[in-house]
Structure 1
Amino acid sequence: MTQTDTPFVPPAPVPRTTPPSRFEIIRTVMRNPLELWGEPSFRREWMQVKFFNERTLIVNHPGLVRHVLVDNAQNYKMATIRQLILRPILRDGLLTAEGETWRRSRKAMAPVFTPRHARGFAEKMLAQSRLFTDRYETAAARGEIRDIAVDMTELTYEILSATLFSGQVTGTEAEFSGDIERLLSSMGRVDPMDLLKAPSWVPRLRRLFGYRILAKFRGIVEQTMAARQQLMRTDPDSVPEDFLTLLIRLHGPDGLTIDEIEDNIITFIGAGHETTARALGWTLYCLANSPADREKVEAEIDEVLAREPDPVKWLDAMPWTRAAFEEAMRLYPPAPSINRAAIEDDQWDNGKGETVTIEAGTTVLVMPWTLHRHTLLWDQPGAFIPSRFLPENRGKIDRFQYLPFGVGPRICIGATFALQEAVIALGVLMSEYRFDCVAETRPWPVQKLTTQPEGGLPMRVSRR
């Protein structure tokens, strides 16, 4: 039987067949929300349920996704529980700001993340990927086992630091990336007080350790900003024209406050590299378990690198590599939930005589985790099949059934940046090394802020 006949099915919670009790809901959401979803969530187009006596609409129909997140997006604000989790970390960063604050920030930062500007980052992405890959030389010679989840976090942090901050973040890279990891791990999980919608001033015991890391983290960001401001005053000709400089120059009555600038630096350093890191790790893991697909990706990378030195062109020149990354994001979406709340009553008609009524105050859950694995939308939804994302097959995928970067006004501003970064990183890593699973490679997807591999991704690195 060929690989095509039996594609790799990576680990994921088995959908529930019986509704959980109230206690099970609390316990599961605190431990791993991905284990909460029942079988109907993967086969029904929408579901209206009660969650802690709160009206909740679970959306899996692409048309309804479009209605909520695009066509009538102004009627849907950020859901309370989401904000209770994220705002203590990111405050008024782009992911959590709302209203006029969000509009000012989005407009101000959009020019940095246009496709043209993203292409300008390609050479630095390539240089950082090569520097990082050099570290594997000794590991490969000794047949060492590396935690690829940790490695990808460090790699994407170094790329982000070099491209958006010119490598001038105060403190050592290892210390800073480690602090980010601990911060997101401790602060990014649901606390019982969140489920009860207790005010933000009520202590969250699960996050007490995280608050100490957050204070240290913000202190480093303040030092980084102060150092750049000092350079801008004393030696303006040597100031890098990067994201950090742009943000500081936006300070003023018509721009951003100092606090908002700090919040956005934290947002991009924290969430900006974490999402790509997780997707890269899952990609290498899935390819290690899908030899035929890995051979296609390796052959493509070898051919492109032999003829095309310009990394700007790699994204278009490597359809198999990009497809593998996108398929990994389908199975393990970096942001597994998109949470909204209806401001006013709303309705949506599916064109077949069925109408969904959404009352004001209803929590609306667009769940990439269920949407990306939905039986009505995908063939073999639990299997790793990169070919579904090849250019000739993309037309079969509705724009609103695949949301690794969200959609609508609040679509991830760094989507092009992340895709380019991922293909360049995979191109460099896989051109020289092969990553194989070992007996200890038993990851389990857990939802924190992102879809993380519990137990890490221990893999053996060897020269190709």
Structure 2
Amino acid sequence: MDMRPEPFEPPAPVPRTVPPSRLEIIRTVLRNPLELWGEPSYTLPWIDTKFFSERTIIINDPGLIRHVLVDNAANYEMSEIRQLILRPILRDGLLTAEGQVWKRSRKAMAPVFTPRHAKGFAGKMLAKSEEYAEKYADIGLDGRVTDISVDMTEITFNILSETLFSGEIVTASNNFSDDVDNLLHRMGRVDPMDLLRAPPWVPRLTRIGGKKVLGKFREIVRLTMEKRTGRMAADRAGTPDDFLTLLLELAGPDGLTLDEIEDNILTFIGAGHETTARALAWTLYCVANAPHVREAMEEEIDRVTASGADPVDWLDLMPNVRAAFEEALRLYPPAPSINRAAIEDDVWTSPDGKSVRIEAGTTALVMPWTLHRHQLYWEKPRAFLPERFLPENRCKIHRFQYLPFGAGPRICIGATFAMQEAVIALAVLMGRYRFDPTHETNPWPVQKLTTQPRDGLPMRVSRRQRTA
């Protein structure tokens, strides 16, 4: 008999039962797009609808998702509304570039993020995690309350800075996490002009306040590039062979332009760590509300770290830690929507003979947010159940029903990097400390490019009491 308590159901919008009016759609999209979706989005394999008079097909069926993102990916480009939101920030960075620009950038960066190369970062990830853990060194058994959404932004930025830029990002700011939050809040929101498909030159009033912080990030990138370029010219042999050097050496007529290099550096500094940071914070929150999960993770962490295992192997040696992180990615996917638009007419036929016609210009919307909570594909979809991702259960999950890193040619280039980073950071932090909710801990997921907790995520951090 299973004596465990009912699984924890973390907070999330309840599916709508009544379709919203056009005014409600605008208000909800501007406030929090996660609150827009109704029951059909969580129960049907696909939905053919209209959004501001434009045909949109919401796709949940794993086979149809594979068709759009992989098998016939060449027929689907980035949707206009997505680009209207992201391009003002990232311009021709890897997330927003298309065509030959994207192909050049992806090819240039691929060697840094191969699984073999990513494993080479494990030692630095461990060192920066341990260094950050010292922030809590003065905490006793009573603990203190801290906003872990801020803390996780700081630790992942420190790791990214050390691994990809050898710690040489030129920033004098002591409030980097605030800058990131301000950038995403101001620049990463949907503006009414986006919904109306207004051209980029039409002012977006909701983003005016974000131009200053965007300029600050651009200045950080330019100074970082100048400093490294000078170092390379003075002593190339003594310059780190890291991500930054790789990009700068690609500058030229046959490689990347300086503007493209700047855009890609900004993409990684401003957004490369953000997705992992949010997922780490949600993981600690969910684990704190599932004691039996936390106990299994702590036992595993203590055993593996005591064995002296190389951190490069922790991803495989800590299946409970990895599973908890992957389940948090399911419930709170950092990228909650994947937007595409059909270039030419397309048809997909399901195994049971049902056909779906996707006409040219139709928006194909794949939403990890609804897909990961879909009643057709998950048991107890709203519950935090990491055991879904333990090795013995992984085979039950269809490749295209779980998309925390996307899929197809544009799958997240840093997926292996992020998984390894997350397991190492969790092992270090949970090996030393407990993270518990307080009466102030009442997070609500909000979509601002990433899925983040509204008003932060305050939790009590206390030193762990080890049993003999």
Instruction: State the TM-score, normalized to the length of structure 2.
Output: 0.98
1:299 is matched with 299
Report how far residue 196 of structure 1 moved: 0.4
Shift of 1:408: 0.3
Match of 1:387 in 2: 387
Which 10-residue stretch deviates more, 302-311 or 243-252? 302-311
Deviations 1:15-50 (A, max 9, x none): 000000000000000000000000010000000001
Aligned residue for 1:233, secondary structure, equals helix
Equivalent residues of 1:435, 1:460 under 8 A apart: yes
Q: Distance in 1 between matches of 2:72 and 2:347?
A: 10
Give the counterpart letter for 1:410 in structure 2.
Answer: R
Shift of 1:176: 3.6
| Letter aligned with residue 19 of structure 1 | P
User: Structure 2 counterpart of 1:12, which letter?
Assistant: A
3-state secondary structure, aligned to 1:222: helix
Please report how far the alpha carbon of residue 463 of structure 1 lies from its aligned counterpart in structure 2 after TM superposition: 0.8
| 1:367 is aligned to 2:362 | no
**Cα shift at 1:251:** 0.5
Q: Do the aligned partners of 1:275 and 1:335 also contact (CA within 8 Å) in 2?
A: yes
CA spacing shift, 1:290–1:142, aligned 2, 3 Å: closer
1:218 lines up with 2:231 in the alignment: no
Deviation at 1:185, TM superposition (A): 1.8
Q: Separation in 2 of the partners of 1:241 and 1:21?
A: 55
Structure 2 equivalent of residue 443 of structure 1? 443
Structure 2 SS opposite 1:452: strand
CA distance in 1, matches of 2:263, 2:153: 21
Task: Give the Cα–Cα distance (whole angstroms) in 2 for the partners of residues 174 and 269 of structure 1.
Answer: 15
Deviations 1:211-262 (A, max 9, x none): 1111111011101100000001112222111100000001011110000000
Q: Tell me what 1:91 maps to.
A: 91
Query: Residues 314-329 of structure 1 correspond to what in structure 2 (within 5 A)?
Result: 314-329=314-329
Secondary structure in 2 matching 1:439: coil
Amino acid at match of 1:92: D
- Map Cα deviations across residues 85-121 of structure 1 (whole Å, 9 max, x no partner): 0000000000000000000100110000001110110
1:268, 1:322 → 2: CA distance? 23
Partner of 2:182: 182
Q: SS of the counterpart of 1:446?
A: strand
AA aligned opposite 1:253? P
Residue 4 of structure 1: CA displacement? Answer: 3.8
Instruction: Specify the alignment match of 1:156 in structure 2.
Output: 156
Give secondary structure in 2 for the equivalent of 1:292: helix
Deviation of residue 154 (structure 1)?
0.4
Distance 1:206 1:142 in 2: 42
Distance 2:220 2:270 in 1: 13
Report the equivalent of 1:430. 430
CA distance in 2, matches of 1:140, 1:448: 35
Given that residues 3 and 292 in structure 1 are in contact (C-alpha distance below 8 angstroms), is that contact kept between their aligned partners in structure 2?
Answer: no
- Deviation (angstroms), 1:2: 6.4
Q: 1:5: how far off?
A: 4.6
Q: Which moved more, 1:378-387 or 1:142-151?
A: 142-151
Instruction: Give the Å deviation of 1:205.
Output: 0.6
CA displacement at 1:141 relative to structure 2: 5.7
AA partner of residue 291 (structure 1): P
CA distance in 1: counterparts of 2:401 and 2:430, whole angstroms: 30
Equivalent in the alignment of 1:238: 238
Deviation for aligned residue 1:308: 3.0
8 Å CA contact 1:94–1:267 kept in 2: the answer is yes
State the AA in 2 paired with 1:376.
Answer: L
Are 2:150 and 2:177, in contact at CA under 8 Å, matched by a contact in 1?
A: no
Q: Is the 8 A contact 2:300 2:318 kept in 1?
A: yes
Would you identify which runs of 4 or more consecutive aligned residues in structure 1 move more than 6 Å? none
Q: Distance in 2 between matches of 1:81 and 1:206?
A: 15
Hey, what does 2:112 align to over in structure 1?
A: 112
* Cα separation, 2, equivalents of 1:8 and 1:307: 32
Quote the residue 1:351 is aligned against.
Answer: 351
Q: CA deviation at 1:431?
A: 0.4
Query: 2:207 aligns to what SS in structure 1?
Result: helix
Q: For residues 38-74 of structure 1, what are the alpha-carbon distances to aligned partners after superposition, in whole Å with 9 as ceiling and x for unaligned?
A: 0010000000001000000000000000000000000
Question: What is the DSSP-based 3-state SS (H/G/I as helix, E as strand, rest coil) of the residue aligned with 1:330?
Answer: helix
Deviations 1:422-460 (A, max 9, x none): 000000000000000000000000001100001211111
| 1:158–1:173 contact (8 Å) kept in structure 2 | no
Identity %: 70
Instruction: Count the aligned residue pairs.
Output: 464
Distance 1:192 1:169, change over 3 A: same
Contact 1:442–1:455 (CA<8 Å) still a contact in 2? Answer: no
1:179 Cα deviation from its structure 2 partner: 2.0
Which amino acid counterpart does residue 434 of structure 1 have in structure 2?
R
**Kept after mapping to 2: 8 A contact 1:79/1:340:** yes
Q: What are the equivalent positions in structure 2 for 1:24-423 lying under 5 Å apart?
A: 24-140=24-140, 143-172=143-172, 174-423=174-423
Contact in 1 for aligned 2:145/2:461 (Cα 8 Å)? yes
For residues 140 and 85 of structure 2, what CA distance do their matches in structure 1 show? 40
Identify the range of structure 1 (436-445 vs 163-172) with the bigger mean alpha-carbon deviation.
163-172
Q: Which amino acid aligns with 2:48?
A: Q
Kept in 2: contact 1:139–1:145 (CA 8 A): no
5+ residue gaps, structure 2, are none
Q: Distance in 1 between matches of 2:294 and 2:157?
A: 25
Q: SS of the counterpart of 1:174?
A: coil
Q: Structure 1 residue 264: deviation in Å?
A: 0.3
Helix, strand or coil at the partner of 1:138: coil
What's the secondary structure of 1:341's corresponding residue?
strand
Structure 1 window deviating more from structure 2 (182-191 vs 272-281): it is 182-191
Q: Structure 1 residues 27-36 or 165-174, which shifts more?
A: 165-174
User: Secondary structure at the residue paired with 1:263?
Assistant: helix
SS of 2:49's partner is strand
Alpha-carbon distance in structure 2 between the residues aligned to 1:421 and 1:297: 16
Q: Secondary structure at the match of 2:112?
A: helix
Structure 1 unmatched runs, 5+: none
Asked if 1 retains the 8 angstrom alpha-carbon contact of 2:133 and 2:429, the reply is yes
